[in-house]
Structure formats: structure tokens, C-alpha cells
Structure 1
Amino acid sequence: MKFKYVKSTAAALALILSNIANAGIIMHSEDYIDDTSRAHFNGFESMPMNSGELFTGGNGPYVEDLIQVEQINGDSGANDGIWAKHNWVGAQGDNSWYPNIGDYGYTSITLSDSSDFGSIGFNFGTGGRSTTEILFEVYNDGVLILKGSSALLSDSINYLGFSGDSFDEVRVKDNFGGSNFYSGRQTLAIDNIEIAGNLADVPEPSSLAIFALGVIGLLSRRAIKQ
């Protein structure tokens, strides 16, 4: 019986550790960052364009105020690339980020100095009439810690944001070509990327792991004595 109890505490530890990676990540569907609290902002207003209003940097990366955006596996034909002047609900200012004609890639958002996000938010829209969702993946040091989707309304200003535990990359696309994140064409447009600060004031995963080990250790010690 003692051995079974210790074994169960080990299983509990495994469960706790398996959830540490995405502890504290919060998804936001409404703007939660006050303009006066912005630490960095990318509105795509400095993008150089050719006569066809395509970003001359191809699929990126494009960096504005530390925020880096890149179309991964984006189309690279003469009429492909990022159409900076696409008009969609939610776009503000002169420019935004829209993969022209759609492609099979996804949009990656990081910080150009490779530091972590503590919070991020942006407006998004679409050029595809059949698009109903934005698909997202959140990473930290190359490890997927959160994935999901958010409804996309073509006639409304859509917003998506994340805060809480630290992370260093957000990947997004829409379901224009299906719900598989890494296949199917996308028509997702983004604008007004804002950050309130870096490294949220929450317990780091390492701290949570140490705490969990301590709790399980006390439970195991108690079980052995019984």
C-alpha cells in the first residue's frame, strides 16, 4: 500500500509538470492593453512597397518598434508576397500585413531581440469570404505551449491577444483552406500589434517545478512513514 501511494504521488507530479508549460497563459478576444500602457507598437506604417503596393521585403521579416513579423513558407511569385494596402475591416492607418492572394504559410510574430513577450495583442481580419476562424499557436523556446482558435467576423473589428506566463513566438493563420495549421491556403490580415511589456510578473515554470517537487516530496515522505 505504501508503494502504491508513493507511485500515485509520482503520477501527480507528472501531471503537475505536464501543465507547467502553459501555466498562466490567458487568451484575450477584446483589447486589454490601454494605449498609454503600450511598450511597443507595430502598425506597419514604415513598410517599403513597390508600385503594386507589395512589401518589397518579400515575406519578411519586417521589424517595427522591436516587433518582428514574417510570413513562413509564404508564396514568392512576382504577384505574391505581402500586400500592404489591402482594405479590410479592422485595418487602421495606411498599411497592414496581408499575404496577397493567400498562400500555404503562416504568420510568425516575435521580438527582434529574441526576448520574451509578457503580453501581446493585435487586430485581425480576412480577405476570404469563407473564413470563420483564426488559428493560433503560442511557443516558448521552440516548445508549443498553447494552441486553439478564435471566431473571425468579417464585418467586425477582431482582436486577439495573449498575456500571463512568458512566451516568445505567436503563429497565426486562418481556416480559409481548412483547419490544419500547416496546410491549406490562408487569407489572414493583421494590424496594430501592441505590447504592454516583456516578461509578465508571474511565477516562472522553473519556480513552479521546484514548488511541485517540494509538495510531492513531503507527500512521499509522509506515505513512507505510514
Structure 2
Amino acid sequence: MNIFKSLFLFFILLSSIQAVNIHTTDFIDNSQRTHFVAFGSSSSAVNLVYIENGVRIQQVNGQSEDGSYFPNGGYWYPNGGDYGYTKITRTDGLDFVNVGFQLYSGGGASTGAYRLYNDGVFVTGGTFSIGSMFALYVGFSGGGFDEIRVRDFYSTAPSTANHLNFYNGTPNALGLDSIELSGTSVPEPHSLFLSLLSIIALFLLRK
């Protein structure tokens, strides 16, 4: 096999590695949900941690009064704001496959950020725009991560409001609601193209 074919195969196989897909509209059918968090309890979270239906929500670097949620149309919110972020994991320790939730900013921020981890190792991160109360939906599909961290930047200049400054200690007031999980990965259009490239690579390997 010559060097050019080897390089071609390398880049095909590298591009075929499953990546996390980002969604800004609800992509999980209600009938396919395996977990759903409605924040329906009537008491405040204990030690800034709330668990419902196999999902754990935790406020990290929060204030003592953080993590309030309300029984009438309840949601998760760092009451009064804090200087940390919200962490979402599964109680069984498994990876997420598809997950999505609604967001809003109690401080009126226009930008929020996310960072995904797998076994403590950073996977990917990015930003999202925030609209009116719970008008925003953010979701992730493709698997390969077991921890989601989210926050907003309601007192940060737009030029520095990104996931690279996630831990800069500036105020955060991001609210969450309606966390949904499903177990079947949703294929993206580019996934079909990558699958075709993988088939080509296997064909070339046999030659």
C-alpha cells in the first residue's frame, strides 16, 4: 500500500469517529423518552443536588441558597445567582446517548455555554444564545459523554462569553427545565456520508 493510500485511509477513518451533535430544537420524541425530569417536588434541593428519574442535577460552586425549585411548573434555578455552573449526570454512571432540556437566564443573559465530559475528560464545548423564559432548547446526541456542564454569562462582555472562560468565576443565573433522555442515537445527515467513507475505506483495505 503506497503512502497516499495510507494517508487517505487515515483521514477517512479519523473522520468516521462518532461525534457529538448539537440540537437547538426538540429532537427527542416523547414516546422515545427513557428519562424525564420535571422538577415536580415541592421542597428545595439538599446540598445543591436534585435527583429525579435517574438523573442528577447539581449546582457546583454555588451559594448556600442555590438550587431552589418550585412545585407549580417547577424548574432548576440557582436562586439569586451564583459563581458556578450546573452539572447534569446519570445516577447509574452510564453515558448519555440523546439528551435535551429547556434553558433561560434569570439574569437576562444573551449567551450561555456548555462543556461535555466523559470520565472527567473534556469532550467538546460551545455557546448558545438565550431567549425569553424557557424559549431555548439545547440538546446533544451521538453519545460519548457522561457529564454536562452549563452556565450563562449575564455580567460578562460578549467577547469573552464562551466555554473557554467557563470557570472564570463570573455570575451565573441559568435556569433548567424539562430534561429528557432517550437511548437511540439520532443520525445526522453527515453521518450517512461518514458511513459511506467508512465503506470505501474497508474496500481499499481489502485491495
In 1, Cα distance between equivalents of 2:151 and 2:15: 27
Among 45, 62, 86, the alignment partner of 1:74 is 62
Structure 2 equivalent of residue 45 of structure 1: 40
Cα 1:108/1:8, change in 2 over 3 Å: farther
CA shift at 1:165, angstroms?
3.1
Task: Indicate if the aligned counterparts of 1:125 and 1:154 stay in contact, CA closer than 8 A.
Answer: yes
Structure 2 equivalent of residue 35 of structure 1: 30
What secondary structure, in the 3-state scheme, does the structure 1 residue paired with 2:149 have? strand
Please identify which structure carries the higher strand content.
2
Does the alignment pair 1:126 with 2:126? no
In 1, Cα distance between equivalents of 2:125 and 2:55: 21
Cα 1:8/1:142, change in 2 over 3 Å: farther
* CA RMSD, 1 decimal: 3.1
Does the alignment pair 1:173 with 2:159? no
Q: Which runs of 5+ in 1 are unaligned?
A: 50-54, 86-91, 203-207
Cα 1:201/1:97, change in 2 over 3 Å: closer
Cα 1:132/1:12, change in 2 over 3 Å: farther
CA shift at 1:16, angstroms?
5.9
Among 122, 135, 142, the alignment partner of 1:157 is 135
- The percentage of counterpart residues that share the same residue type is 35
Per-residue CA deviation, residues 35-55 of structure 1 (Å, 9 max, x unaligned), is 111110111112523xxxxx3
Structure 2 equivalent of residue 108 of structure 1: 87
Cα 1:164/1:150, change in 2 over 3 Å: same
Does the alignment pair 1:58 with 2:47? yes
What secondary structure, in the 3-state scheme, does the structure 2 residue paired with 1:150 have? strand
Task: Indicate if the aligned counterparts of 1:166 and 1:200 stay in contact, CA closer than 8 A.
Answer: no
Scaled by the length of structure 2, the TM-score of the pair is 0.76
Task: Indicate if the aligned counterparts of 2:60 and 2:84 stay in contact, CA closer than 8 A.
Answer: yes
Q: Which runs of 5+ in 2 are unaligned?
A: 188-193
Q: Which has the larger radius of gyration?
A: 1
